[in-house]
Structure 1
């Protein structure tokens, strides 16, 4: 068996200190490019081209990682980025902080079980009954407020503002109706390669949006036509073959060969006449057509565009509902029914390249538009296109919601057991449910019916049946403690390691009464852990809020291991805002942290900023993905290096074969 697998290395799993060292090395490679104030890394391609970038996925993929555990970390960060469109750099930074905290806490045999219990018993409560008070619905439409902070971590200030406006405008044009936005975002993310055309050598300000689709090919045959025209899609040559595949064709003389060529020519001409009789004016082909086909196409007034990319053919089929035509079947002269309708078809000059501009009539709610993306060089255009494509993936997450687990939903029905919070184990088979909101109810996310909460009400738990909020009920409880703590809070906190021992610096202020909050939220809100369209101010607010509420719920845990993990994760969350504010003025993170925590303790709105908004769903999924990655790393028992792929073992093989 050992000879067949050719094992190069076998050994026990890396210990927690080694895992932390590898994660810290990855975090050090990407931390400098994190956030809007981060710098750029210069990647050198094998061709010698130097590409500056701030993209976390590109940075991780460019690293030549040798340790297997480090490869797993980078792969999980990129997988999370592919699923949500965001968070590769934050993933690595948070992962390193969690592993470092677990290492400092001493680890333990029950660490994996404690991580699962923490997610079910502390993290979900902190999100459902803590963060809920602060998030707000997304503003109407697809605002630049969501796109600018997203692009700020990848592009420069001037680039991100222009591209954010283009991205929002493209989505509005492709989906004028709000009900079509989820499907439009999915199609834009999946088919963006065919929905944009890059033009190097021009400034970014020259970028624009054109109706229809731009095919990056010139006409092989162009016959101008006015008004609507029918387009036919083909995936094979239209010149008929002399024989079927696999059948030998024998020519005895030159006369037979010339007769065969005449037969092919007549057959091709007949096919073009047939297309003309069916009002086909445009032929879109994914293959190269013969000169005879081009000649007769021009003769009978059929424009031809050949050698189209598979992405372009797939996009046309998807928006028109038309399948490619098979010209040679049992009856070549059958009626052609599957044709796309184009409102216009004309040549277009982009820079020095001739293209084809076609306006298709869509059979779905998606209205095709093409983004003309300009940039000084090809590498810059490539970075802009990748950032926009992932921005559409990120915007899809606004329509998603995370449901609470069964035990969390039932807590409102068992308030007499409040002292037993965090005292049961969660089943590993119970997974969080992600639901896609694509029904008409999702319109409320981006329409005026879902009004944005004002700053005065964002920190309250809304209850339409009561005259006062739970926050108001808490004021009498916390007034005396606040008076004792507010005077020298800044001085005391600056002398401490901010983020550790929050129960001391925050003077044990309870966010809201447990026995009231659980019942109120269970009655006034749905069973969603994260509701569709939930956003928070960008710039570290999510991490500080979750840090605050995790530490509060950790105090109620009777399991010591869960409490340790809770404090580790709570402190690790602060590593992201610390990295975001490291390049600003001195002690900027400390001041930001204290302002936010003092606002929470006083039940006041969070201090405003100009960073924009970010999706609560994306940020929550980042934390969950990191915890799952930590659990996976801790569950590795053996690392095996294989020099060659393992051969498939058949059932009839004997032991002697090995």
Structure 2
């Protein structure tokens, strides 16, 4: 079946339907949806990815929207629900604006000509540096959109504790967070039947199986990774071994026994006291392992073996055939090895000496039932992915960065002397570092907590230094200049560095990012010469407000309107915004959300034909026809 490309009204209707399915679960005040599994189990959830995956979506374009939202969530750990809401708002705005044939090109031009300028020359002045050494202000609001109040506080503390223990040095956190995100399944053990408060972080890793052979030992020991049976074979693979008599059979058994015993003696002489095997070993191997004081853990998954190899830098052991005199060098140092009882299940608790920045720790995650533990584990794994984005830097595009540098140099040579520039810089720095003398920093507003929301690149640089990230970046100062004077000759104090968003940049949660970007997109759109780019700019600016509108939708009536008008009024007066104390969010994550939605809109608008395939495509062979000339 073939059909013409989806029309814009239909795209908007499908996006609006998806947005309606997830809007009620957005934010800390959102509700939960009840998902029914094929087994009949009811699972309450507020997770956007689970909600989208659970929907039975038929239209191809709608399936594409849901897939793009889930892909964005998989990459950044956040934003599936916000993605759908913003996508629906953009498509609805384009439908109402009635854009022409050049709409796709206008979307690309908008990203470079308006969006990046709005972020670099407007939004960036409001960014804050993440508090050094404290992850809870970022984790609590993130988990608030997925879990209940009591759960999110405890899990945020556990998540932050695990991060700090696995990466005692701040410089190692980006690398460690990547490993935690990839290997969290192997770095936690779920225990149903206990309250969440019983959860804890333990040193080492927990293997969710019992010892096949356990020989207690004190102090450090050596461990060997094994990926094949250690019982010697009578013949090479693919070679048939024929036994003609009972004597030959008994001789074969004696040879196998002697070889297995000799192998265990060889392990003992090399101080190997632990075998970690991905395959099940024969009984004779287990017998001689016990006899020579070697503990055995078998049937480990490939993921567990890969994690241990990554931590220890050790490759699996390969038997040496007829020679057993060679020293075994590929062994891991184990600091402790003991049984661990989790309720009624026996597990293996092992501590490894790490050769990388990651210090092995495991999270024991308790909960009333398995379904709740699954939700908590999924939320924590995505939280580690979200934290990775905090250490990323976003650069400007070269084509307009060069233009900005050229404008800056022209202004400097024609209008402003170095002394005037230094005077402006010194005055700004005095206002920044002496809050008692600055009216730009602190603004008290009724119903809001004290705000200290300052736009200065030194904040981001300080964050990079505290977090030990972004050390290769150029440390440039972005002096505060009143927004109304930004385009004047004196506006050369504005920084034109290559960095669009510094590592460690955050904003308070609750719609501040969307309102700031909305305001600055509107400003830069006014000076755009192309009418279609101006239309797209206004559509995206208004669509951004759909997210804070949904966040405040369950609060008191008119709260969003009051908040929006107050924020715009303060921005027009070049005053800092009042902020709440509900936590912080990564600006990199939020900006990537906008970019991902714009790319998805461009993809949707480029569809010219939808083809429904009811049977597998048949392979068509290229053959020269007799009629071909």
* TM-score, normalising length: structure 2: 0.88
Check 1:362–1:467 CA distance in 2 against 1; reply closer, same or farther (3 A cut).
closer
Q: Which of 614, 617, 625 is equivalent to 2:588?
A: 617
Check 1:647–1:265 CA distance in 2 against 1; reply closer, same or farther (3 A cut).
farther
Give secondary structure in 2 for the equivalent of 1:289. Answer: coil
Is contact 1:400-1:617 (8 Å) kept?
A: yes
Deviates more, 1:324-333 or 1:161-170: 324-333
Instruction: Please report how far the alpha carbon of residue 511 of structure 1 lies from its aligned counterpart in structure 2 after TM superposition.
Output: 4.8
Give secondary structure in 2 for the equivalent of 1:159. Answer: helix
Counting only pairs closer than 5 Å after superposition, residues 280-359 of structure 1 correspond to structure 2 as 280-329=272-321, 331-359=323-351
Check 1:330–1:81 CA distance in 2 against 1; reply closer, same or farther (3 A cut).
farther
Which residue of structure 2 aligns with residue 514 of structure 1? 487
| Distance (Å, rounded) in 2 between the aligned partners of 1:394 and 1:586 | 32
Partner deviation per Cα, 1:586-619 (whole Å, 9 max, x = no partner) = 1111111122112212222211212200000000
Which residue of structure 1 aligns with residue 555 of structure 2? 584
Are 1:185 and 2:156 an aligned pair?
A: no
Are 1:13 and 2:5 an aligned pair?
A: yes
Deviates more, 1:122-131 or 1:601-610: 601-610
Is contact 1:133-1:458 (8 Å) kept?
A: no
Which residue of structure 1 aligns with residue 263 of structure 2? 271
Counting only pairs closer than 5 Å after superposition, residues 416-495 of structure 1 correspond to structure 2 as 455=442, 458-461=453-456, 470-471=480-481, 474=482
| Distance (Å, rounded) in 2 between the aligned partners of 1:384 and 1:273 | 46
Instruction: Please report how far the alpha carbon of residue 515 of structure 1 lies from its aligned counterpart in structure 2 after TM superposition.
Output: 3.5
Counting only pairs closer than 5 Å after superposition, residues 11-160 of structure 1 correspond to structure 2 as 11-160=3-152
Instruction: Please report how far the alpha carbon of residue 262 of structure 1 lies from its aligned counterpart in structure 2 after TM superposition.
Output: 1.9
Counting only pairs closer than 5 Å after superposition, residues 188-203 of structure 1 correspond to structure 2 as 188-203=180-195
Instruction: Please report how far the alpha carbon of residue 105 of structure 1 lies from its aligned counterpart in structure 2 after TM superposition.
Output: 0.5
Which residue of structure 1 aligns with residue 498 of structure 2? 527
Which residue of structure 1 aligns with residue 530 of structure 2? 559
Are 1:600 and 2:571 an aligned pair?
A: yes
Is contact 2:408-2:492 (8 Å) kept?
A: no
| Distance (Å, rounded) in 1 between the aligned partners of 2:63 and 2:164 | 39
| Distance (Å, rounded) in 2 between the aligned partners of 1:122 and 1:547 | 11
Instruction: Please report how far the alpha carbon of residue 128 of structure 1 lies from its aligned counterpart in structure 2 after TM superposition.
Output: 0.3
Q: What runs of 5+ residues in structure 2 fail to find an aligned partner?
A: 411-439, 444-451, 460-475
| Distance (Å, rounded) in 1 between the aligned partners of 2:550 and 2:558 | 12
Is contact 2:456-2:477 (8 Å) kept?
A: no
Is contact 1:240-1:328 (8 Å) kept?
A: no
Which residue of structure 1 aligns with residue 167 of structure 2? 175
| Distance (Å, rounded) in 1 between the aligned partners of 2:61 and 2:626 | 33
Is contact 1:129-1:517 (8 Å) kept?
A: no
Note the aligned Cα RMSD (angstroms).
2.3
Give secondary structure in 1 for the equivalent of 2:348. Answer: strand
Instruction: Please report how far the alpha carbon of residue 521 of structure 1 lies from its aligned counterpart in structure 2 after TM superposition.
Output: 2.5
Give secondary structure in 2 for the equivalent of 1:325. Answer: coil
Is contact 2:478-2:494 (8 Å) kept?
A: no
Instruction: Please report how far the alpha carbon of residue 264 of structure 1 lies from its aligned counterpart in structure 2 after TM superposition.
Output: 1.2
| Distance (Å, rounded) in 2 between the aligned partners of 1:407 and 1:48 | 56
Is contact 1:231-1:283 (8 Å) kept?
A: yes
Give secondary structure in 1 for the equivalent of 2:232. Answer: coil
Check 1:27–1:462 CA distance in 2 against 1; reply closer, same or farther (3 A cut).
closer
Check 1:469–1:251 CA distance in 2 against 1; reply closer, same or farther (3 A cut).
closer
Instruction: Please report how far the alpha carbon of residue 246 of structure 1 lies from its aligned counterpart in structure 2 after TM superposition.
Output: 1.4
Check 1:75–1:242 CA distance in 2 against 1; reply closer, same or farther (3 A cut).
same
| Distance (Å, rounded) in 2 between the aligned partners of 1:398 and 1:539 | 18
Give secondary structure in 2 for the equivalent of 1:233. Answer: strand
| Distance (Å, rounded) in 2 between the aligned partners of 1:463 and 1:79 | 34
Instruction: Please report how far the alpha carbon of residue 654 of structure 1 lies from its aligned counterpart in structure 2 after TM superposition.
Output: 6.8
Deviates more, 1:594-603 or 1:48-57: 594-603
Is contact 2:221-2:335 (8 Å) kept?
A: yes
| Distance (Å, rounded) in 1 between the aligned partners of 2:610 and 2:210 | 53
Partner deviation per Cα, 1:378-415 (whole Å, 9 max, x = no partner) = 01001100100110001001111111011221233443
Instruction: Please report how far the alpha carbon of residue 646 of structure 1 lies from its aligned counterpart in structure 2 after TM superposition.
Output: 3.4
| Distance (Å, rounded) in 1 between the aligned partners of 2:322 and 2:590 | 57
Partner deviation per Cα, 1:606-639 (whole Å, 9 max, x = no partner) = 1121220000000000000000000000111111
Check 1:84–1:287 CA distance in 2 against 1; reply closer, same or farther (3 A cut).
same
Is contact 1:459-1:603 (8 Å) kept?
A: no
Partner deviation per Cα, 1:129-179 (whole Å, 9 max, x = no partner) = 111111111110142000011101110010000000000010000010111
Check 1:313–1:216 CA distance in 2 against 1; reply closer, same or farther (3 A cut).
same
| Distance (Å, rounded) in 2 between the aligned partners of 1:532 and 1:577 | 24
| Distance (Å, rounded) in 1 between the aligned partners of 2:35 and 2:582 | 28
Counting only pairs closer than 5 Å after superposition, residues 498-513 of structure 1 correspond to structure 2 as 511-513=484-486
Which residue of structure 1 aligns with residue 542 of structure 2? 571
Is contact 2:125-2:480 (8 Å) kept?
A: no
Is contact 1:463-1:520 (8 Å) kept?
A: no
| Distance (Å, rounded) in 1 between the aligned partners of 2:606 and 2:514 | 27
Are 1:217 and 2:212 an aligned pair?
A: no
Is contact 1:596-1:606 (8 Å) kept?
A: yes
| Distance (Å, rounded) in 1 between the aligned partners of 2:478 and 2:406 | 24
Instruction: Please report how far the alpha carbon of residue 257 of structure 1 lies from its aligned counterpart in structure 2 after TM superposition.
Output: 2.2
| Distance (Å, rounded) in 2 between the aligned partners of 1:12 and 1:76 | 22
